[in-house]
């Protein structure tokens, strides 16, 4: 063990309205209110919400959101990771509310259901009807900030669905939910898809957690901006997550995507080039050629410059697979003019530590070889601010392997811990993986649709993919 060094990384603070800080996103939102986009100062912000659904699903949606106006306590004992939802009435500390108006509603009526049922491809017809109704609402003189797609129960009965316990509607090989996201993206209006069982709170989390997750996700989409940010990420640093997804169609191809996170709290998603991947030894672990790696990071740097007016002084690249020689060479060539470069692989591992107490290892525990060639980081475990470990199994570490390291491995891991707290789709205190890695599956699912392949431009803002 003399070759190992052990450190403890403190839980990162989050920044809210008027500079308020908290370790817990829910507590911070209640105590200080969210960080709002724009310069206009208002005591209460109102966000306009449109709805598409059947008469019944629209009524259930309004009923659900009416229940969100009041405080919702968790069942049983209040836990630090299960905070009562404070409500969205005018006196709420959250400082915003959702406004509904019949003008922004569009009903899927009996005539629509008849057309869908008699169509050759029923789910394609259902998507066309939703697209048409989205367009009608979007073209209003004052369109809403977000449109809820409240999926009617009848869709699961008359449309083509996957044969699973929790069926998903299919549009050919595509996913109905993802195709709706692409329609919203084309119209430049974020969407929120709500399944019928969510309206009934069947098979979901309990009501207070459903309220937190839906409301915070919608806030992010409505204001086109993050409701909290980290108190500290390095300035002039571009954090990038590189991952891969399958493109659907007759010939299954691979494509890369890059997720960019900045110290300002902004995040963007960029689609890389398509490529064929045939490798008998690693069939499910695609890697980039030197040229594709060069082009992808060049694209990232140009996008960063378009936002910040200058290139970053440091770039941090996270991957969930090892860097192959060609990839590494392409990344290095593209970043020759960047002063500091950290290229890091983040993998799950089987490493577990056992303590002499009844609680597991601390979240933030970091073990590294003294030569910094490898490290093990616990992003789950006992959390002092919670006073407990909010998990069931013994936590395992992430394996952190640098392939180019111009700073320190400790700093890299401090940033990884920080980036586990920036998933706007989840109000839990943290995720196991940093967002540079964790959100790729959601984004790749939308980018992989056949319709997305036909779109020359995919919007880089993450709120269109959520």
List, for residues 131-184, the tens digit of each pLDDT value. Answer: 999 999 999 989 999 999 999 999 988 888 886 677 889 999 999 999 999 999
Q: Are residues 143 and 274 in the same domain?
A: no
Reading the block at residue 186, the tokens are 């084309």
Q: What CATH number does the domain containing 352 carry?
A: 3.30.420.10
Report yes or no: 189 and 464 within 8 Å, Cβ to Cβ.
Answer: no
Q: What is the pLDDT of residue 265?
A: 84
Q: Are residues 268 and 185 in the same domain?
A: no
Q: Are residues 349 and 385 in the same domain?
A: yes
Which DSSP string do the residues of 71-111 spell out, in sequence order? -BPPSSS-BTTBPPB---STT-TT-EEEEEEEEEEEE--HH
Considering the domain boundaries, does residue 14 fall inside one?
no
Task: Please tell me whether residue 271 adopts helix, strand or coil conformation.
Answer: strand
Q: How far apart are CA 80 and CA 78, in angstroms?
A: 7
Domain end, chosen from 180, 206, 222, is at 222
Q: How far apart are CA 168 and CA 179, in angstroms?
A: 12
Task: Please tell me whether residue 125 adopts helix, strand or coil conformation.
Answer: helix
Q: How far apart are CA 319 and CA 289, in angstroms?
A: 15
Q: What is the pLDDT of residue 41?
A: 61
Q: Are residues 449 and 373 in the same domain?
A: yes
- Count how many residues are written for the chain: 466
Domain end, chosen from 170, 204, 222, is at 222
Considering the domain boundaries, does residue 165 fall inside one?
yes
Q: How far apart are CA 271 and CA 278, in angstroms?
A: 21
Reading the block at residue 6, the tokens are 């052990």
Tokens 């045939």 identify what position? 278
Considering the domain boundaries, does residue 25 fall inside one?
no
Q: How far apart are CA 194 and CA 192, in angstroms?
A: 6
**Tens digit of each residue's pLDDT, the chain (466 residues):** 557 888 999 999 999 998 999 999 999 999 999 988 665 566 688 999 999 999 999 999 999 999 999 999 888 777 767 789 999 987 788 989 999 999 999 999 999 999 999 988 999 999 999 999 999 999 998 999 999 999 999 998 888 888 667 788 999 999 999 999 999 999 999 999 999 889 888 877 788 889 999 999 999 999 998 899 999 889 999 999 999 988 888 666 788 899 999 988 889 999 998 888 878 787 778 899 999 999 999 999 999 999 999 999 999 999 999 999 999 999 999 999 999 999 999 999 998 988 888 788 999 999 998 888 899 999 999 888 888 887 778 899 999 999 999 999 999 999 999 999 988 777 777 889 999 998 888 899 999 999 999 898 999 999 999 8
Give residue-wise pLDDT tens across range 169-228: 999 999 999 999 999 999 999 999 999 889 888 877 788 889 999 999 999 999 998 899
Q: What is the pLDDT of residue 424?
A: 79
Q: Are residues 140 and 261 in the same domain?
A: no
Q: Are residues 315 and 428 in the same domain?
A: yes
Q: Are residues 329 and 277 in the same domain?
A: yes
Burial class (CB in 10 A: 0-12, 13-18, 19+), 284: exposed
Considering the domain boundaries, does residue 24 fall inside one?
no
Report yes or no: 366 and 377 within 8 Å, Cβ to Cβ.
Answer: yes
Q: Are residues 290 and 181 in the same domain?
A: no
Considering the domain boundaries, does residue 106 fall inside one?
yes
Q: Are residues 128 and 273 in the same domain?
A: no
pTM for the predicted model, two decimal places: 0.91
Considering the domain boundaries, does residue 268 fall inside one?
yes
Q: What is the pLDDT of residue 166?
A: 77
- 77 is in which domain, residue-wise? 36-222
Considering the domain boundaries, does residue 27 fall inside one?
no
Considering the domain boundaries, does residue 403 fall inside one?
yes
């Amino acid at each position: 063990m003399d070759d190992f060094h052990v450190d403890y990384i403190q839980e990162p603070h989050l920044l809210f309205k008027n500079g308020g800080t908290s370790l817990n996103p829910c507590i911070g939102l209640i105590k200080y209110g969210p960080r709002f986009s724009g310069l206009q100062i208002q005591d209460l912000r109102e966000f306009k919400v449109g709805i598409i659904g059947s008469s019944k699903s629209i009524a259930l949606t309004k009923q659900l959101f009416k229940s969100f106006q009041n405080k919702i306590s968790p069942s049983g004992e209040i836990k630090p990771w299960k905070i009562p939802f404070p409500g969205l009435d005018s006196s709420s500390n959250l400082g915003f509310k959702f406004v509904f108006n019949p003008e922004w509603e569009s009903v899927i009526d009996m005539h629509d259901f008849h057309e869908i049922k008699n169509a050759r491809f029923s789910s394609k017809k259902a998507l066309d009807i939703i697209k048409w109704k989205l367009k009608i609402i979007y073209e209003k003189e004052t369109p809403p900030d977000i449109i809820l797609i409240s999926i009617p129960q009848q869709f699961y009965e008359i449309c083509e669905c996957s044969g699973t316990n929790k069926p998903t509607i299919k549009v050919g090989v595509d996913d109905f939910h993802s195709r709706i996201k692409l329609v919203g993206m084309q119209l430049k209006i974020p969407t929120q898809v709500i399944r019928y069982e969510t309206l009934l709170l069947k098979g979901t989390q309990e009501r207070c957690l459903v309220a937190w997750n839906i409301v915070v996700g919608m806030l992010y989409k409505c204001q086109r901006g993050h409701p909290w940010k980290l108190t500290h990420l390095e300035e002039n640093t571009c954090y990038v997550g590189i991952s891969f997804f399958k493109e659907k169609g007759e010939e299954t191809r691979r494509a890369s995507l890059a997720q960019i996170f900045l110290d300002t709290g902004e995040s963007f998603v960029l689609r890389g080039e398509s490529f064929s991947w045939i490798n008998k030894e690693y069939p499910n672990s695609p890697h980039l050629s030197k040229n594709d790696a060069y082009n992808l990071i060049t694209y990232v740097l140009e996008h960063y410059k378009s936002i910040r007016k200058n290139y970053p002084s440091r770039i941090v690249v996270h991957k969930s697979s090892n860097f192959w020689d060609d990839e590494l060479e392409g990344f290095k060539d593209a970043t020759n003019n960047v002063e500091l470069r950290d290229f890091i692989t983040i993998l799950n591992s089987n490493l577990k530590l056992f303590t002499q107490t009844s609680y597991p290892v601390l979240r933030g525990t970091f073990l590294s070889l003294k030569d910094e060639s490898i490290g093990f980081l616990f992003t789950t475990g006992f959390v002092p601010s919670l006073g407990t470990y909010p998990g069931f199994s013994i936590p395992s570490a992430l394996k952190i392997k640098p392939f180019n390291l111009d700073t320190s491995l400790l700093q890299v891991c401090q940033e990884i811990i920080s980036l586990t707290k920036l998933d706007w789709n989840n109000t839990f205190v943290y995720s196991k993986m940093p967002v540079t890695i964790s959100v790729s599956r959601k984004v790749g699912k939308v980018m992989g649709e056949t319709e997305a392949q036909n779109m020359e431009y995919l919007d880089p803002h993450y709120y269109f993919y959520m």
